[in-house]
């Protein structure tokens, strides 16, 4: 230290102050304050003041250190700056002053938290934890639903109420956890692991009500995100209220704006299911009716073809075709009925619990199904008997028209020597002999005797 009892020049004093300032700190140093009076030089250097309640200090950030955000984006915000303290001694007699040469600027408070969250988000995104291809698809009819949240929260009550209203046959398992504070993230991870060990849930819900950005910070935890990603059970999130979005929402298999919205995304609505079932029943009846009408038209076509052709030539062929068509008709009706019954059995198997809830309605519909089957079989038997009777009537008419039948009534067929039928008396004038054919035989008659 120089002897200051001897007068020194202003320049010497400024140089001493410069050296003292350089030696006073372990650099770099960090300072909290609010940015004001921002300006940017033509060459890109940034100048501003850092203030608190009672003081301020000049700051400079050189163009080579400017990042993605320029200084104007921080204006009037509380920040933490990092850099070196410098006592600037200008030339040409201008006043000297202390300043901070800034190397880094980050927002303080919530802004700082957001920067941390964004850094984690980018890291996990680059690792592929948000890819759609990695997402699990929950069961459309989840029979066991796990809810990870605070056991005393309104969110839990809202979720349980919504699940029971939409899909009351599902079982809800509560995995209580902290949803705020330093221990919350690890607490949630433990419950996710427990649910995966239990293996009783079809889907897990991670939910909590609204809160400040800081309140929701546990859902931005990197370890929690990796735990959600590794879960073998699909996880749906409903955290906070729109537009709250956490890293847990990005990595989850499904994310919703609120806890109740999450409950709606993973469960079917019982009212929609009842409506769809009724519509399916009506469609089945209509399909069966159309199928039967097709068979009826086909039978009528066959009957028309029989009537349009010579029975002597086609009687045996039509007889065979008739029985084949009836056999095909029976088989097709059986296939239709079996297919519909199989569909009903599949539905009954997949929704057995649901049918228990709607037992009375199902029994009535089951009775309608049996009645419909019996009616179809009765109608088929009726049509079959009608066609059979028509066939026998047609056969009887054909036999009644047989020549032998007519001969038995006392008629005879007269033929000349060439076997040609003689229809008029004049045709016998020059005939030496002819034959008379009766139903029980032929007689030769000579006309020249």
Query: Whole-structure pTM over 0.85, yes or no?
Result: no
pLDDT in tens, 292-351: 788 878 887 777 766 666 566 667 777 777 778 778 878 887 887 788 777 777 776 766
Using a pLDDT cut of 70, give the percent of the chain over it: 90
CATH number of 10-108: 2.40.50.140
Q: Is the pLDDT of residue 147 over 60?
A: yes
Per residue, what are the HEC states of the chain?
A: CCCCCCCCCHHHHHHHHHHHHHHCCCCCEEEEEEEEEEEECCCCCEEEEEECCCCEEEEEECHHHCCCCCHHHHCCCEEEEEEEEEEECCCCCCCCEEEEEEEEEEECCHHHHHHHHHHHHHHHHHCCCCCHHHCCCCCCCCCEEEEEECCCCHHHHHHHHHHHHHCCCCEEEEEECCCCCCCHHHHHHHHHHHHHHHCCCCEEEEEECCCCCCCCHHHHCHHHHHHHHHCCCCEEEEECCCCCCCHHHHHCCEEECCHHHHHHHHCCCHHHHHHHHHHHHHHHHHHHHHHHHHHHHHHHHHHHHHHHCCHHHHHHHHHHHHHHHHHHHHHHHHHHHHHHHHHHHHHHHHCHHHHHHCHHHHHHHHHHHHHHHHHHHHHHHHHHHHHHHHHHHHHHHHHHCCHHHHHCCCCCEEECCCCCECCCHHHHCCCCEEEEEECCEEEEEECCC
Q: Is the pLDDT of residue 73 over 70?
A: yes
Q: Is the pLDDT of residue 155 over 80?
A: yes
- Segment among 76-90, 113-127, 427-441 with least mean pLDDT: 427-441
Across 34-48, 191-205, 286-300, which has the greatest mean pLDDT?
191-205
pLDDT in tens, 217-266: 899 999 999 999 999 999 999 997 767 689 999 999 999 999 999 999 99
Across 80-89, 118-127, 371-380, 390-399, which has the greatest mean pLDDT?
118-127
Q: Give the residue-averaged pLDDT of 158-186.
A: 93
Domain boundaries, given as residue ranges, for the chain: 10-108, 115-266, 270-393, 407-446
pLDDT in tens, 115-130: 778 888 899 989 999 9
The pLDDT-based confidence of 143 (bands split at 50, 70, 90) is very high
The pLDDT-based confidence of 205 (bands split at 50, 70, 90) is very high
In whole numbers, what is the pLDDT of the chain averaged over residues? 83
Q: What is the pLDDT of residue 194?
A: 97
Q: Is the pLDDT of residue 200 over 90?
A: yes
Q: What is the pLDDT of residue 380?
A: 81
Across 11-15, 261-265, 354-358, which has the greatest mean pLDDT?
261-265
Q: Is the pLDDT of residue 408 over 90?
A: no
Q: What is the pLDDT of residue 449?
A: 57
Q: What is the pLDDT of residue 308?
A: 66
Q: What is the pLDDT of residue 109?
A: 63
CATH number of 115-266: 3.40.50.2300
Q: Give the residue-averaged pLDDT of 41-65.
A: 91
The pLDDT-based confidence of 98 (bands split at 50, 70, 90) is confident
Q: What is the pLDDT of residue 19?
A: 77
Q: Can 10-108 and 115-266 be said to share one CATH topology?
A: no
Q: What is the pLDDT of residue 199?
A: 95
């Amino acid at each position: 230290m120089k002897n200051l009892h001897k007068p020194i020049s202003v320049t010497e004093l400024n140089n001493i102050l410069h050296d003292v300032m350089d030696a006073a700190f372990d650099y770099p140093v960090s300072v909290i304050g609010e940015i004001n009076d921002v300006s940017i030089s033509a060459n890109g250097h940034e100048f501003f003041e850092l203030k608190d309640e009672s003081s301020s200090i000049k700051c400079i950030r050189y163009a080579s250190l400017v990042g993605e955000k320029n200084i104007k984006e921080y204006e009037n915000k509380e920040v933490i700056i990092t850099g070196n303290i410098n006592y600037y001694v200008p030339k040409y007699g201008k006043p000297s002053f202390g300043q901070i040469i800034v190397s880094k600027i980050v927002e303080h408070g919530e802004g700082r938290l957001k920067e941390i969250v964004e850094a984690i988000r980018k890291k996990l995104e680059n690792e592929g934890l948000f890819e759609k291809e990695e997402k699990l698809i929950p069961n459309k009819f989840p029979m066991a639903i796990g809810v990870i949240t605070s056991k005393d929260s309104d969110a839990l009550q809202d979720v349980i109420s919504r699940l029971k209203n939409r899909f009351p046959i599902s079982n809800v398992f509560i995995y209580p956890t902290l949803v705020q504070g330093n221990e919350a993230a690890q607490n949630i991870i433990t419950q996710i692991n427990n649910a995966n060990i239990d293996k009783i849930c079809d889907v897990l819900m991670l939910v909590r009500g609204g809160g400040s950005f800081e309140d929701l910070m546990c859902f931005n935890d990197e370890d929690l995100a990796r735990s959600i990603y590794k879960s073998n059970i699909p996880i749906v999130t409903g955290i906070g209220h729109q537009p709250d979005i956490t890293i847990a929402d990005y990595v989850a298999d499904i994310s919703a704006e609120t806890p109740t919205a999450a409950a709606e995304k993973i469960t079917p609505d019982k009212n929609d299911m009842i409506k769809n079932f009724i519509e399916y029943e009506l469609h089945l009846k209509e399909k069966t009716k159309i199928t039967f009408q097709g068979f009826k038209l086909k039978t009528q076509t066959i009957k028309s073809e029989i009537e349009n052709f010579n029975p002597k030539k086609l009687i045996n062929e039509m007889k065979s075709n008739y029985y084949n068509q009836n056999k095909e008709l029976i088989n097709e009706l059986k296939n239709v009925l079996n297919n519909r019954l199989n569909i009903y059995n599949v539905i009954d198997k997949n929704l057995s619990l649901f049918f228990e809830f709607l037992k009375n309605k199902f029994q009535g519909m089951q009775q309608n199904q049996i009645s419909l089957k019996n009616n179809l079989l009765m109608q088929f038997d009726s049509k079959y008997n009608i066609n059979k009777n028509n066939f026998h009537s047609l056969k009887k008419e054909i036999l009644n028209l047989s020549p032998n039948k007519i001969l038995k009534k006392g008629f005879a067929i007269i033929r000349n020597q060439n076997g040609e039928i003689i229809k008029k008396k004049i045709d016998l004038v020059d005939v030496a002999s002819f034959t008379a054919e009766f139903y029980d035989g032929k007689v030769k008659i000579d006309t020249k005797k």
